[in-house]
Amino acid sequence: MLLPRIIRGLTFVILVVPLVCGLVGTALPAFGYLPTLGGDHLTLHFFADLFARPGIGRSILLTFATAFMTTALSFLVVIVFVAGWAGTHAFARLQHLVSPLLALPHAAAAFGLAFLIAPSGFLLRLVSPWLTGFDRPPGWLIVHDPLGLAMVTGLVVKEVPFLLLVTFAALPQLRLEQTRRLAASFGYGRIAGFSYLLAPPLYGQIRLAVYAVLAYASSVVDVSAILGPTLPATLPVRLLQWMNDPDLALRFVASAGALVQLVLTLSALALWWAAECGVGRLARFVCAGGARFRRDAWLRSLSLGLVTLSAFFIFAGMAILALWSVAGLWQFPNALPNELTMRNWARHLPQITTPLITTVYVALISTTLAVLLTLGCLEREVVWGRRAGHMVLTLIYLPLIVPQISFIFGLQVLTIITGTEASLVALVLVHLIFVLPYVFLSLSDPWRAYDRRYELIAAALGVPRWRVLMRVRLPMLLRAILTAAAVGFAVSVGQYLPTVLIGAGRLTTITTEAVALASGGDGRVIGIYAFLQALLPFLGFAIASLAPALLFRHRGALRV
């Protein structure tokens, strides 16, 4: 009983203390206070300065709109797809595809997409010049388009697998088959039946993941920089530019912007929440009308098509990145490189070893810690009842809701003060801040939805608590635990901002190296790093999906 309590306290310290310090460290300069840079009195001047910047309104609007569009699209695609296909063979097969899709870090996926759809990209090369007549790339503005559609696409193809994965983890707790048959017996269409009867409890389970998608999409830096509008860029991208500007006065403006970013993200969440209520009411209204929506075949096909398309973008993007990594000269409109060479790899591999080791090391430790802490917190819930830790557990989601950029600068100052800058310990801890919520998010729903009577029976058989945990609950939740660990691992591998700031450039990972090298815009270098970036989490997910499948290959009830 003592252990879970310590774990809960520790979780609290790990998540909340850095967050609060970081926010304070950001808020003070936002209001003009940072004595080292000559800011010694409080002022609103920097907010005025921020809002006077050219195109700032458009940046904010863009950020808000793209985030909302990303979330709404991703959610709709996922929910309609699950409604239309859950329980089918196509669905079961897709489940094995989701993990590799999710494994790919956002930056790599974005690069892959860019190399596919750009005017000089692979898709147009395929049909040029024989079909299009182009011998040079046409002047179409596809990537970096002013409306941010390329960026939304890039985000959606990554968020769909994330939401699918969370949904898969939650589905076994629903009485999918029975409910579907019941709905069908009343004459409801597949999608309608699911939406009326299963979507509400399902949404209850994946709601926080949806919020996380929204918060992420509203504060993402890397994808936005790679695919998003440039003139002006989205708010988070501009904030990072100001943070890094040698004109130190811009630090204050950036800090003010970081607070605006916080408000922006929270407003997006509030609007989503309002929309949630509205849609719920509408659904109940429609449901009460008894509409059956029997002819939903077109919608089912559409959802399957969209999911397939997003998978295609990722896999094809990866293939193109791999191709670029071994490309010599590769001129438009050639569909394949003029020459293939291992020279790029030979050149980069020796420099990659150290970052690679750091990446794996940090990801493994932070993920292991996150899983243990999560199990500890959840176990405490089991022992003491759900409400005992509810407040604290809400706090766990803070790092997903508060935009990274809003507290990361202050955090860096904290590590410098404590002398832990560029230390593995600090890096692991800062990764833990972001890994833990994702692990928790992935694991808590299946954990809570677990049928407790299994444990009651086991306890009643006279089996000690820890043995019940080890022999009954953990094995039954093995898939969920491994999935959560793989998510955590992928999150750690993909961390850019925290790694750059806390690693201070001394501890580098594949991702920080990729982004630094990508600043040159060379497809070959991007190909190599994005490929490696994808490989690591992919391995994690492969284990998470193969291990339970192998272990439980003779157990029908555990096949999802």
Partner 1 sequence: MTSAKGLVLSSIDIALAHRPLIALEAMVAPGTVLTIMGPSGSGKSTLLAYVGGFLDPVFTATGAVTIDGLDLTALPAEERHAGILFQDPLLFPHLSVASNVAFAIPSSVRQRAERRAIAEAVLKDVGLDGFGGRDPATLSGGQKARVALMRVLVARPRLLLLDEPFSKLDMALRDQTRRLVFERARVAGLPVVLVTHDIADAQAAGGQIIEVGMNA
Partner 2 sequence: MRSISTVITSGVTLALIAAVSARAQTPDPSDWPAVVSQAKGETVYWNAWGGSDNVNDFIAWTGRQLQKRYGFKVVEVKVADTAEAVAKVVADKAAGKNTDGSVDLIWINGENFVAMKKQNLFFTPGWATKLPNWKYVDTRNPTVTTDFNEPTDGLESPWGNAKLVFFYDSARTKKADLPNNAEQLLAWAKAHPGRFSYPAPPAFMGTTFLKQVLYELMDDKSKFYKPVDKMSFKQYVAPLFSYLDQIKPYLWHEGRDYPKDYPAMKQMLADGSLGIIFAFNPSEASSAIEAGKLPKTVRSFTFSGGTLGNTHFVAIPYNAAAKAAALVLANFLISPEAQFHKQNPEYWGDPTVLSMQKLPGEWQKKFAALKLGVATLPPSELGPIIREPDASWTDAIEAAWKKRYGVAH
Chain contacts with partner 2 (rule: CB under 8 A): 9-10, 13, 34, 36-37, 54-55, 58, 119-120, 135-137, 139, 141, 143-144, 146, 230-232, 243-248, 251, 328-332, 339, 341, 343, 347-348, 350-351, 409, 412-413, 416-422, 504-506, 508, 512-513, 515-517, 519-525
Please choose which of partner 2, partner 1, none residue 175 contacts, taking the beta carbon within 5 to 8 angstroms, the exact cut-off set by kind: none
**Rounded to an integer, what distance in angstroms lies between the CA atom of residue 286 and that of residue 275?**
16
Q: Is 453 one of the binding residues for partner 1 (CB under 8 A)?
A: yes
Binds 189: which of partner 1, partner 2, none (CB < 5-8 Å by kind): none
Count of CA atoms in the C-beta half-sphere (13 A) of 51? 6
Q: Which of 40, 135, 177, 451 binds partner 1 (CB under 8 A)?
A: 451
Burial-class residue 395 by CB neighbours within 10 Å (0-12, 13-18, 19+). Answer: middle
Closest contact distance (angstroms) between CB of 395 and partner 2 is 15
476, interface contact from partner 2, partner 1, none, CB < 5-8 Å by kind: partner 1
Comparison of 417 and 456: residue with beta carbon closer to partner 1: 456
Q: CB under 5 to 8 A by kind: which of partner 2, partner 1, none does 521 bind?
A: partner 2
Comparing CA positions, the residue from 400, 389, 382, 483 lying closest to residue 436 is 400
- Rounded (5°) CA angle 406-412-418: 140
CA torsion 472→477→479→484, rounded to 10°? -140
DSSP 327: B
Contact between 550 and partner 1 per CB under 8 A: no
Token code pair at residue 297 = 């075949």
Q: Which does 465 bind (CB under 5 to 8 A by kind): partner 2, partner 1, none?
A: partner 1
Single out the residue of 90, 372, 456, 546 in contact with partner 1 (rule: CB under 8 A).
456
Q: Which residue number, 283 or 558, has a Cβ lying nearer to partner 1?
A: 558
Shortest Å, Cβ 469 to partner 1: 11
User: Which of 5, 294, 348, 465 is in the footprint of partner 1 by CB under 8 A?
Assistant: 465
545 near 164, Cβ under 8 Å? no
Q: Read out DSSP for 32-47?
A: TEEGGGTEES--SHHH
- Residue in 2, 288, 329, 557 binding partner 1, rule: CB under 8 A: 557
In the complex, minimum distance from the CB of residue 198 to partner 1, in angstroms, rounded to a whole number: 20
Q: Are 443 and 374 in contact (CB under 8 A)?
A: yes
Cα atoms in the 13 Å half-sphere on the side-chain side of 265: 26
Distances in whole angstroms, Cα of residue 82 to Cα of each of 151, 158, 205, 423:
25, 17, 14, 44
Min CB(424)–partner 2 separation in Å = 14
Q: Using the minimum distance from each CB to partner 1, give the nearer residue, 337 or 475.
A: 475
Member of 468, 491, 534, 536 binding partner 1 (CB under 8 A): 468
Smaller CB separation from partner 1, 139 or 556: 556
- The CB-of-478 to partner 1 minimum distance in angstroms stands at 8
Which residue, 178 or 353, has its beta carbon nearer to partner 1? 178
3-state secondary structure of 471: helix
Q: Which amino acid is at 141?
A: L
**Does 173 help bind partner 1 (rule: CB under 8 A)?**
no
Angstrom distance (rounded) from CA 322 to CA 19: 38
User: For residues 81 and 242, which CB has a smaller minimum distance to partner 2 in the complex?
Assistant: 242
- Looking at the DSSP bridge assignments, the partners of residue 345 are none
Helix (H) or strand (E) holding 413, with range, is: helix 404-417
CB 529 within 8 A of CB 514: yes
Closest separation in Å from C-beta 278 to partner 2? 34
Mask: binding to partner 1, 27-66, rule CB under 8 A, as x and -? Answer: ----------------------------------------
Q: In 3D, which of 514, 471, 476 has the Cα closest to residue 494?
A: 514
- Interactions with partner 1, residue window 471-490 (CB under 8 A): 471-472, 475-476, 478
Query: Judged by CB, which is closer to partner 2: 95, or 423?
Result: 423
Spatial contact of 548 and 114, defined as CB atoms under 8 Å apart: no
- Tell me how far apart the alpha carbons of residues 240 and 498 are, in angstroms, rounded to a whole number: 12
The two tokens of residue 468 are: 């019940």
In order of 279, 342, 429, 465, 475, the CA distances from 468 in angstroms are 41, 53, 31, 5, 10
Three-state DSSP at 337 gives: coil
464 binds, among partner 2, partner 1, none (CB under 5 to 8 A by kind): partner 1
Candidates 454, 506, 522, 547; binder of partner 1 (CB under 8 A) is: 454
CB of 372 to partner 1, least distance (A): 21
**For the chain, what's the residue count?**
560
Q: Which does 419 bind (CB under 5 to 8 A by kind): partner 1, partner 2, none?
A: partner 2
Q: Give least dist CB 479 to partner 1, A.
A: 10
| Helices (H), ranges, 326-403 | 343-384, 390-395, 398-401
Nearer to partner 2, 185 or 519 (CB): 519
Contact 180, 190 (CB under 8 A): yes
Contact 502, 426 (CB under 8 A): yes
Query: Are 502 and 427 a contacting pair, CB within 8 Å?
Result: yes
Segment interacting with partner 1, rule: CB under 8 A, options 3-11, 48-56, 338-346, 551-559:
551-559
Q: How far is residue 536's CA from residue 197's CA, in Å, rounded to a whole number?
A: 39
Task: Tell me how far, at minimum, the Cβ of 103 lies from partner 1, in Å.
Answer: 26
- Contacts with partner 1 in 375-394 (CB under 8 A)? 384-385, 387-388
In the complex, least distance from residue 560 CB atom to partner 1, rounded to whole angstroms = 12
Footprint on this chain of partner 1 (rule: CB under 8 A): 384-385, 387-388, 451, 453-454, 456-465, 468, 471-472, 475-476, 478, 552, 554-558
